[in-house]
Amino acid sequence: MKLGLTGAHGFVGSEIASVHAALYADDAAWTSCIELPRVPSVIPRSGESTDDAARRTEAEHASGIAALDAALVGLDAVINAAGKAEPDSLDDGPLLATNAVVPVVLARAAARAGVQRFVHVSSAAVQGAEPVYDERAAWFPDTAYSRSKAEGEQALLKLAPPDGPAAIAIYRPTSVCGPERETTRRLVKMLDQRVLPITKDGATELPLVAVENVARLALWLALKDDTTGTRIVLHPSEGVDQTTLLATLAPEAKAIPIGPAAKVLELLAKTAPAKVRPALRRLDVFINGRAQISSVTGTQFDMVPADQWLTQLRDEIGAI
């Protein structure tokens, strides 16, 4: 059986390829992971739906679609890890083309080729400032990036055989951490202070997840899960709270509990001008945290423990 992967050279995609090689190379049931060609897309026109933009892509990029169709033949599952991860961007067009149109174009092509399982790597950012991340078909995007991800999810939920594969998993990772990711470096830089604000006793749950665990769950959804139909899957909590994070990444910092200021920050993250909202949201997530309600547990995909990957993250960033 064969797996196809898009975005194989990106942050999440390259990790999926690496983890697949480490965990599934000797698995007789899944013999190979094939890098798929670039998926064509167009920027949606004003008033044009994502599905219509996908169909226009098929008409305007016939040769690219033909190459994609040919590459998908014989595959059993596909993971779409291609995406434009630019949370600070204000440019809707390119984000919509990559994060909304591409997954629909790919899912439609996968269905034509007879692929049975399709996993789309989306983002919990589609739920914006909500205090709880979950698996509802509910969207509260408040940035260009989260809007593009929400558009992609909504379009995929409308696909059904024969237009889409029999099983579609819309996977929502939360705040993905890795030593090469700029947002992770910003977090570490923020923690590299003498005094840091926390809420109450530092037990606030943070939605931080390791990129390796994101790869493990994406692969589990594609290769091991037997659920049919279309569903949304949120990455489960990895048990990281403020105390754990500070003890590992900033043991010398003094934590100062704050009260009403935390609510002020939460409000600012919702209402601030678009240009500064992403930065405020990152601070809001660290101060106020997010609860996570998921149908998946870490034991199902052999999740790497948080203390292990946080220590590795500290060592790797410190060595760069």
Query: Distance between CA 79 and CA 238 in Å, rounded?
Result: 22
pLDDT value of position 249:
84
pLDDT value of position 231:
97
Hey, where are the domains in the chain?
A: 2-319
Q: What is the 3-state secondary structure (H, E, C) of 208-255?
A: EEEHHHHHHHHHHHHHCCCCCEEEEEECCCCCCEHHHHHHHHCCCCEE
Query: Distance between CA 252 and CA 82 in Å, rounded?
Result: 38
**For the chain, what percentages of helix, strand and coil (3-state, to nearest 5) are there?**
45, 15, 40
How far is C-alpha 274 from the geometric centre of its chain's CA atoms? 21
- pLDDT by 10s per residue, the chain, length 320: 899 999 999 999 999 999 999 998 777 677 789 999 999 999 999 999 999 999 999 999 999 999 999 999 999 999 999 999 888 888 999 999 999 999 999 999 999 999 999 999 999 999 998 999 999 999 999 899 999 999 999 999 999 899 999 999 999 999 999 998 888 887 777 777 666 777 767 788 999 999 999 999 999 999 999 999 999 999 999 999 988 888 888 887 777 777 666 677 677 777 788 777 777 777 788 778 899 999 999 999 999 999 999 999 988 886 54
Query: Distance between CA 88 and CA 68 in Å, rounded?
Result: 31
pLDDT value of position 320:
42
Given a contact cutoff of 8 angstroms between Cβ atoms, the answer to whether 176 and 81 are in contact is no
Given a contact cutoff of 8 angstroms between Cβ atoms, the answer to whether 255 and 202 are in contact is yes
Query: Distance between CA 23 and CA 61 in Å, rounded?
Result: 36
How far is C-alpha 228 from the geometric centre of its chain's CA atoms? 21
Give the CATH superfamily of 2-319: NAD(P)-binding Rossmann-like Domain (3.40.50.720)
Query: Distance between CA 123 and CA 114 in Å, rounded?
Result: 26
Whole-number Cα distances in Å, 306 to 121, 183, 222, 238, 245: 21, 18, 23, 6, 9
Whole-number Cα distances in Å, 168 to 145, 210, 315: 22, 23, 37
pLDDT value of position 177:
94
Task: State which amino acid sits at residue 132.
Answer: V
- State the pTM of this model: 0.93
